[in-house]
A and B are shown apart, each in its own frame.
Chain A
Amino acid sequence: MNEREALDEYVPLWIETPEWEDVLRRARHRRSPRLLVAVAVAIAVFGGAPALAVVLLRDSKPRLPSAADRSNVAVMLQPRTGRIVLEVAPWKGHDGFCYFAYFARSGCVPRSHQTVVSAPPVFGWTFDPRVVSATATTFGGKHVQLLVRRFRGRVNATFFLAGRPFALLHNIVLRDRDGHLVVRLRR
């Protein structure tokens, strides 16, 4: 018997059903130890002041900025998974919008004529109503389609982002319905 055969016997390979939902459940329910310590300290010091506890226990994940009009939130979904990848809402008291992208980028933007893109991962918007599709180029030279969604109403802007958040992309091209170039952005 060689070492490979002996190792095969030590822990034999077995197949079991994946339990991805269990992974997600564990990820949701586990709070960070730092947060738990903060809560414990708060309770110890303030005798359980409910207001402070609420502040400390509030989910610290980035969200739409507080200046967003939350009564009017629109979302963009990842077509393959159905997950929300972008939340957009009008900016309260301004002509513009607030956004929260799924890779933890958020902000509020005044209306202008600019087309904006940031990376990585690729994410941007344009106020040009002609744009209906967007592509980008990988560093290997491959063209990939970006997710594009136009929001009308008070937001009135078109958003584009990479379906795979960690894909390294550059040379973003926005096109109209007929496939004509509208904007080219280099990163």
Chain B
Amino acid sequence: MLDELEAFYRANLAELRRVATAIAGDRELGCDAVQEAFARAVRKRRGFRGTGTLEAWVWRIVVNAARDARRRRPAVSEPVERSTNGHAPVIPLDLLTERQREIVFLHYYADLDYAAIADALAISPGTVGATLNTARRTLRAALEEVSS
């Protein structure tokens, strides 16, 4: 189990950090959330029952750790959108709900399919599809408005 966790960590580190950074709203916090999440997974590995995939189980822990990091962010920190890449965002993510954002990040950054996202967020694949469609529509409309 420890070997599987390490292999998953090494193979997906870039995607894990990217998703965690997007959710946490800060690169340093996102990277720290990934480290904490895997430490948590290592400690709790015997609790993994094998009912879902190991990948989904780990992603769930990573998403939770990133959410925790976001909540712990100091109130005086920079706005989320500026802290991730150093300049103002072109994408109006504040138009999306927290759930929509998480699904968008897991879909685009981690390249997870609906079933894997559903497992990771403990929701149904149908909800993932519907939420993702709504989020895309919102983003497209906003981007069109910005570019026009």
* Interface 9-residue window, one of A11-19, A48-56, A87-95, A126-134: A11-19
Residue of B nearest to A9 (CB): B90
Over the window 63-88 of chain B, the binary record of Cβ atoms lying under 8 Å from chain A Cβ atoms (1 yes, 0 no) is: 00000000000000000010011000
Q: A7-B109, A166-B4, A166-B54 are in contact. List 19 more A-B contacts (CB 8 A).
A: A1-B143, A3-B91, A4-B108, A6-B139, A7-B105, A9-B85, A9-B89, A9-B91, A13-B18, A16-B13, A16-B17, A23-B9, A23-B39, A26-B39, A30-B39, A30-B43, A32-B43, A78-B3, A80-B3
Q: Mark A17-31, 1 if CB is under 8 A from B, else 0.
A: 011101110110010
Give the shortest distance, in Å, between B84 (CB) and chain A (any CB): 5
A-B contact count (CB 8 A): 96
Separation of A10 and B86 alpha carbons in the complex (Å): 9
13 contacts between A and B (CB under 8 A): A3-B140, A7-B109, A11-B21, A11-B22, A14-B18, A16-B31, A18-B9, A18-B10, A20-B10, A26-B36, A27-B42, A80-B3, A104-B46
Give the distance to chain A from B99, nearest Cβ to Cβ, in Å.
Answer: 16
Known: A2-B140, A2-B143. A26 touches B35 (CB 8 A): yes
* C-alpha spacing A6/B48, complex, angstroms: 36
Q: How far is the CA of A103 from the CA of B139 in the complex (A)?
A: 47
A22/B85 in contact, CB under 8 A: no
Q: How far is the CA of A7 from the CA of B93 in the complex (A)?
A: 9
A164 close to B35 (CB less than 8 A): no
Interface flag for B130 (CB, 8 Å): no
The answer to whether the Cβ of A143 comes within 8 Å of any Cβ in the partner chain is: no
A10 adjacent to B9 (CB under 8 Å): no
Which of A4, A23, A165 is the one whose CB lies under 8 Å from B35?
A23
If over half of A's interface residues share one DSSP class (helix, strand or loop), that class is named, otherwise mixed; here it is: loop
Contact yes or no, A10 B143, CB < 8 A: no
Q: Which residues of B are interface residues toward A (Cβ below 8 A)?
A: 1-4, 6, 9-10, 13-14, 17-18, 21-22, 27, 31, 35-36, 38-40, 42-43, 46, 48, 50, 54, 81, 84-85, 89-91, 93, 104-105, 108-109, 136, 139-140, 143, 147
Total residues of chain A contacting the partner, CB 8 A:
34
Expressed in whole angstroms, the minimum distance between the Cβ of B44 and any Cβ of chain A is 9
A26 — which chain B residues lie within 8 A by C-beta? 35-36, 39
Docked complex Cα distance between A137 and B89 (Å): 53
| A83 close to B50 (CB less than 8 A) | no
Across the interface, A11 reaches (CB within 8 A) one of B9, B84, B136, namely B84
Q: Is the CB of A166 within 8 A of B109?
A: no
Q: Which residues of A contact B9 (CB under 8 A)?
A: 18, 20, 23
Across the interface, name the chain B residue whose C-beta is closest to A62.
B46
